[in-house]
Each structure stands twice: as C-alpha cells, then as structure tokens.
Amino acid sequence: MTPQKKAVTMSQSKLFRRDRQGKVAFFLLLPTLIGFSLFYIYPTIRGIALSFTNTIDLGTPGENVGFENYIKVFQDPIFWNAVRVTLQYVVINIGSQTVIALGLAVAMDRLTTKTWIKIALLMPWLIPGVSAAMLYRWMLNPLIGVINQFLAIFGHPGYLFFGSETMAMPTVALVNTWRFVGYTSLLIYAGIQMIPKNLYEAASLDGATERKLFTKITLPLLRPVLVMVMVVSFIGSFQIFDTMVIATDGGPMNSTRAINYYIFEKAFEQYKIGYAAAMATLLLIFLALLSLIQMRIARASDSDLSQA
C-alpha cells in the first residue's frame, strides 16, 4: 500500500468511526449520566428549592416562604455557634495534622524506606469514623479509661475529655488527626520524593545543616503540595459528622454541635426540612467557593512545580 493510499483509508475509517463513536460514547456514559442526573443535578435543584419552603414532612412538600428560612438561620444563635465550633475543630484538626504529617514525611524521607512503617501509619485511615469514635470513647472514659488510669499512676486526677465543654471539640479534632495524619504524611512524602535529590547533595557539600536543608529546600519546594493537601483536608474537615454521632451527640452544651451535625439533627430528627435545606445551601455555597479557590491554587501550583 502506498503512503497516500493508507492515509486515505485511515481518514475514511476515522470518519466512519466518528459517527459510531457518538453512539458508543453515549452508551459508555449512560450509567454515569443517569446517576449524575438522579443524585447530583436533581438534589441540587431540589435542595435549593426546599430551602425556600416550610417543609416539615419528608413525604409532602411545604409552602413557599421566600427567604424566611435564611433570615431565621442568620438569627439562630445555635447556627452561629455551630459555625464557631466547626471552625475551632478545623483549625485544631488541620493545624495538628499538617504539622505532624510534615514531620513524619520528612523523618521517613531522611531515615527509612521501610514499607511496614508506612503501612502501620496508614492503618488508622482505614478505620471507620464511628469505630474510631467508639474506640476513643472507651480509652478516654473518665472513670475506667486507660488514659486516665495511666495518669492516675502519677497522681493526676484525669480529664473529662468528651464530657467537658471546653475539651470535647479539641478531643474530637485530635481523634480525627489520629485517623488522617498517616495518610496525609504519605501524600506529603510523595511530594518530597519529587524534589530532585541532587539539590540536597549539592547543599550538604556546601556544609548545609539538616535544618537548613529543611527550611531552604524542602519547605519552599513543598509549598504547593502542602497548600493543596491543606485545602483538600479543610474541605473534608469542615464536613465533620461521624465522630459526633458516637462520641458526643453534639454536646456537652452544643460544644461539638458542628454545622453538619446540626443540619442532620434539623433534617432527620426534628424534620425541619426547609430550615435544614437553607443551612445546607449555605454550606454548599461556602464549600463551592472554597473548591473553586482550590482549583485556582492547583493550577498555580502546577506551574510552580514545573518551574522547580
């Protein structure tokens, strides 16, 4: 076959295929599109619509009440408290998680390549949120939990943990740091592996100390990865829910009634569907904005890395 002839048959076959490709693509995408329409598009429209109604029964739609739910939400002290305690949770969780994970990643990079260490660090990530909460509810039991029993050896009276208004949310946050710190450290570790090793070699030959290597090479080159990891963790962290279900029920005194837990209670325990939908819509707007910022950063950090 001459080259031209081959080219002609190729393009003819491509042309023929393009027609058929539309059909094939339609069938390949059909399940995704069905699922997406039913469980993403429909609920988004319905969820926003519900927020303008006074629906109090899951079976029957309520009447239109305009912005009444939103006005009530903005006047609801428990809502503002929920925002406050959620932010408290996020700051403690993301702060401790990122710092420890960064330390772990650097330590693993400099000390060891043993896989079992990484596997062990990953394990808490695989444990369901409700199970982790149950585990800590037992270990942090004020009377017979292992932590307070251990403290008692030193004559320490122990803590109330989940039972204390001031300690409950920090405790919940640290439980989730326990769950996610290993996973996060593996992500950061992968980021460190992308930093060219010869940078370190050159710097140590010039007499740079470990600390200098960390502050002058690792941290600046890791910044985009760290920012990404933190933003993604933030979006997940803001939606904290499972731990409260087992550990605190939102108490004591609303101190762990985070925004997602409050929405859940309003919708599925008090059946104030319209009201819950209004809060959920505000959550949607807030997290969507955050995600858009994250995508922006992702694009920016891509170019950062390619420059490095």
Partner 1 sequence: MSISYLQKQKSKISLGKAGAWIFLGVILFISLFPVFWMLRTALSPNQNLFSANLDLFPDGMSLNNFKRILGFATLEEAQAMGGSGASLNFLLYLWNSIKFTLTVVLGTVTFAVCGGYALARLNFRGRNAIFYLLMSGLLVPSMFATIPNFILIIKLHLLNTFAGSVAPFVFGTPFAVFFMRQFFISFPKEIEESSELDGLGVLGRLRKIVLPMSLPPIYTLALITGVGAWNEYLWPYLVSNDENKRVLTVGLRIFLAQSPSTAPDWAGLMAATTMTIVPVIIILAIFGKKMIGSIQLTGFK
* Least distance (Å) between residue 191 CB and partner 1: 7
Assess 212 for contact with partner 1 (CB under 8 A).
no
* Least distance (Å) between residue 4 CB and partner 1: 16
φ, ψ at 214 (rounded to 5°): -70, -50
Options 95, 128, 196, 220; binder of partner 1; rule CB under 8 A: 128
Q: Which tokens sit at 212?
A: 């200098």
Assess 303 for contact with partner 1 (CB under 8 A).
no
* Least distance (Å) between residue 307 CB and partner 1: 16
Options 7, 8, 34, 56; binder of partner 1; rule CB under 8 A: 34
Residues 231-250 that bind partner 1 (CB under 8 A): 239, 241-242, 245-246
Residue 47 vs 252, nearer CB to partner 1? 47
Question: For the window 5-24, what string marks contact with partner 1 as x by the rule CB under 8 A?
Answer: --------x---xx-xxx-x
* Least distance (Å) between residue 139 CB and partner 1: 6
CA 287, CA 37: separation in Å to the nearest integer?
A: 21
CA 14, CA 31: separation in Å to the nearest integer?
A: 26
The SS3 assignment for 53 reads strand
CA 250, CA 260: separation in Å to the nearest integer?
A: 10
Options 78, 135, 217, 297; binder of partner 1; rule CB under 8 A: 135
Assess 123 for contact with partner 1 (CB under 8 A).
yes
Question: For the window 95-114, what string marks contact with partner 1 as x by the rule CB under 8 A?
Answer: -----x--xx-xxx-xxx--
- In this structure, the number of other CB atoms found within 10 A of the CB of residue 203 comes to 15
Options 73, 85, 102, 263; binder of partner 1; rule CB under 8 A: 263
Contact of 100 with 181, CB cutoff 8 Å? yes
Options 12, 16, 35, 80; binder of partner 1; rule CB under 8 A: 35
- The CA R_g of the chain, rounded to the nearest whole Å, is 26
64: DSSP letter: B
The SS3 assignment for 145 reads coil
Taking CB under 8 A as the binding criterion, the range among 42-50, 73-81, 90-98, 162-170 that sits at the site for partner 1 is 42-50
Residues 139-198 that bind partner 1 (CB under 8 A): 139, 141, 144, 146, 149-150, 153, 178, 181-183, 186-187, 189-191, 193-194
* Least distance (Å) between residue 208 CB and partner 1: 10
Options 65, 83, 91, 117; binder of partner 1; rule CB under 8 A: 117
* Long-range contacts formed by 299-308: CB under 8 A, 24+ apart: 300/224, 301/224, 301/225, 301/227, 301/228, 302/224, 304/223, 304/224, 305/194, 305/224, 308/195, 308/221
Residue 88 vs 239, nearer CB to partner 1? 239
**Displacement of CA 217 from its chain's centroid (Å):** 28
Residues 64-93 that bind partner 1 (CB under 8 A): none
Assess 296 for contact with partner 1 (CB under 8 A).
no
CA 102, CA 219: separation in Å to the nearest integer?
A: 10
Q: Which tokens sit at 141?
A: 């039991």
CA 278, CA 75: separation in Å to the nearest integer?
A: 13
* Least distance (Å) between residue 295 CB and partner 1: 9
